[in-house]
Chain A
Amino acid sequence: MRKTDRWIFAFVVLLIAIFPWVVLNISAISNYVEVMIFAGIFSLVCLGLSLLMGYAGQISLAQAAFFGIGAYSSGILTAHFGWNPWLAMPVGAALAAAVAWVVGVPALRLKGHYLAMATLGFGVIVHIVFNEEIDWTGGPSGMVDIPGLSIAGWRISSEIQWYYLIWGVVFLALLFCFHILHSRVGRALRAIHEEEVAAEAMGVPTARYKVQIFVFGAVLAAIAGSFYTHYVTFLSPSSFNLMWSIRFVLMVMVGGMQSLWGALLGTVLLTFVGNEWLQVFADFEVLVYGTILLVVALFLPQGLIAILRRDFGGSRNPISRVSDEG
């Protein structure tokens, strides 16, 4: 599988690299670059979630909260305290990691519905904090005047520059995740998902790993949040609410939970659906999302990637059942 992944990786890198040049020449879809920037940012959030849900078999309905922690940390440190954005980012990531650890240790002892509710509740609490701490976050009216990003004095200003920056980070994260998967850690994660008791009996510290992967997902989400902040330069708590956590879960599910490529595919697809193709039906957006989620959960629990694997992957059998025991 590693070899196939390498080819797919090269192929996707190529696709992503030439995408802007193709699209910018067609005025009707020239704003697709901007949509892809968002897709890239959300991909960072979803990669971590994919490892957590698809491989370790745990659910989190709190990714938007960590996304927000990273975003607001970067926003507050740079806009209120004049920090260098590149220094603020690790602070946001560290804060998200700490919070994820504190919440994760007790929460990941839970399973299934209890874990879902716990992450749901935690996510809503964080959202309330964003809304209430007006002095820090600007509350519902939002936070403005957030500085942008520059590398070594070079301001990142155009869409193209943002595009390559974000997707560069995404591919680095993707590499990291692939390395994890095809390793002792990845095997341990999959073992935890399939037969947690047996994994523990074979010496895998299951509780510790679950927390680690949860924290990792939170860190990726926070980094994504920081990039988001400096890109849109405006923050509002409504970007980090429960509906967004559900959207991220949907992105991972639609693409295919047991596949990093699936997470990427699902994220790109749903970002386009949300940002572009649904604009006409803005009022229907919530309804459409819910319907897609329901259809996928009922009829396509392995996501779109399973269809692709069947057609191109030959005999390798994708997971025969969706995660069990939450």
Chain B
Amino acid sequence: MDGFWLGTDLLQYTVSGLTIGAIYALVAIGYNIIYNVTEIINFAQGEFVMLGGLFAVFFMETLHFPVFAAFFASIIMVGIVGFAMERLVIRRARNASVLSLIIITIAVSIILKGTAMLGWGKDPYSLPAFTSGGPILIGGAAVQVQALWVLAVSVAIVVSLTLFFHRSLYGKAMLACADNPSAARMVGIRVRQMVLLSFVLSAAIGAAAGVAITPISLMEYDRGALLGLKGFGAAALGGLGNFYGGFVAGLLLGLAESFCAGYLSSGYKDAVALILLLLVLFFKPEGLFGSAEAAKLKRF
């Protein structure tokens, strides 16, 4: 094995860490979008990722779509799921207590998982990479092409979101709702529409992450819970509601997990993100990039 800090192992772990970290970052963004507009933590966020991957499998294997068509079709399908979730469930939970809301989104996550189990069974599924080709050699480390796609998709999503929030009318309306729903309502913004949009957007983003990661690490019906939990860890670490914080934190989390798997123990790698989550919640709930005072003003 090469020298500890200069080895290709380090590079390898870094790349895989950034890859999975990008997924956590996208999940975190999903949480932040919904949280910013509704102050709800959507425990079903991870299931959107799971459904994204599995729907893409369906479109490719069963309907024989080409890969990019499957990508977009899957995003649309899961967006519809997010739509349905908001319309059928969240809308009815307008006046529920915090505890009820938690239970409600957990219930939806279980329903989605149960449905996926019925639809796809318990086996893991795979997708081909978006473009073919063997691994690319960067500095001695073999980087899968799909990993680059994952990073590309994440960056594309972050850039699009930034443009959306700061340039488009709907995006600015969503930010306004996040800031002050009553004022937003008074200037004519339909808050309900924004809530719906936030769920659809979060679902779509989650799905994109799911499709992108499936060629690398497969996808099965019960992957959602852990992904959701780790994604929340990234969101909390970055400061709940803070997009860029969530993105950076997601990458950090992925790196931490990858290094642990590589250097310490691969069995416990899932625990890394969770332990970091607990540490953040216990000792710095406002996250690395949030403000302590703003955190105190949050609904809970």
Contact = CB atoms under 8 A, between A and B. Distances in A.
Q: Are A and B direct contacts in the complex by CB distance below 8 Å?
A: yes
Interface of A: 53, 57, 59, 61, 103, 106-107, 109-114, 116-118, 120-122, 124-125, 128-129, 131-132, 242-243, 246, 249, 253, 283-291, 293-294, 297-298, 301, 321-326
20 contacts: A103-B278, A112-B102, A117-B41, A118-B278, A118-B281, A125-B271, A125-B275, A128-B267, A249-B103, A290-B107, A290-B108, A290-B112, A294-B89, A294-B108, A294-B111, A297-B104, A321-B97, A324-B97, A324-B99, A326-B99
Contact of B110 (A290, A321, A322, A325): A290
Chain B interface, >50% SS class = helix
Among B108, B111, B275, find the residue whose CB has the most chain A CB atoms closer than 10 A: B111
Interface stretch (B65-73, B142-150, B225-233, B243-251): B225-233
B300 A114 contact: yes
A293 B106 contact: yes
Nearest to A294: B107
Given A242-B225, A294-B104, A298-B92, A287 B283 contact: no
Contact of B278 (A57, A59, A121, A297): A121
A117 B229 contact: yes
A113 B244 CA distance: 21
Interface in B5-27: none
Contact of A326 (B265, B277, B300): B300
A57 to B, nearest CB: 8
B1 to A, nearest CB: 24
Interface string B261-293: 000010110110011011001110100000000
A107 B282 contact: yes
Interface of B: 41, 43, 89, 92-93, 96-100, 102-104, 106-115, 117-118, 225-226, 229, 232-233, 236, 265, 267-268, 270-271, 274-275, 277-278, 281-283, 285, 299-300
Nearest to B113: A286
Contacts of B92: 298
Contacts of A291: 107, 111
A237 to B, nearest CB: 12
Contact of A293 (B110, B113, B270): B110
B97 A116 contact: no
A112 B226 contact: no
B281 A293 contact: no
Contacts of A325: 97-98, 300
Contacts of A323: 97, 99
A103 B299 CA distance: 23
A114 B229 CA distance: 12
A53 B102 CA distance: 13
Contacts of A242: 225
A59 B98 CA distance: 10
The 4 closest A-B pairs by CB, nearest first: A287-B114, A112-B300, A290-B110, A286-B114
Nearest to B39: A113
B115 A128 contact: no
Contacts of A113: 41, 98, 102, 300
B98 A324 contact: yes
Contact of A111 (B96, B265, B300): B300
A321 B117 CA distance: 35
A322 B100 contact: yes
Contacts of A132: 265, 267-268
B111 A290 contact: yes
Contacts of A290: 107-114
B99 A298 contact: no
Contacts of B115: 287
Contacts of B111: 287, 290-291, 294
A59 B99 CA distance: 7
A298 B283 CA distance: 33
A298 B300 contact: no
A53 B103 CA distance: 12
A110 B283 CA distance: 10
Contacts of B98: 111-113, 324-326
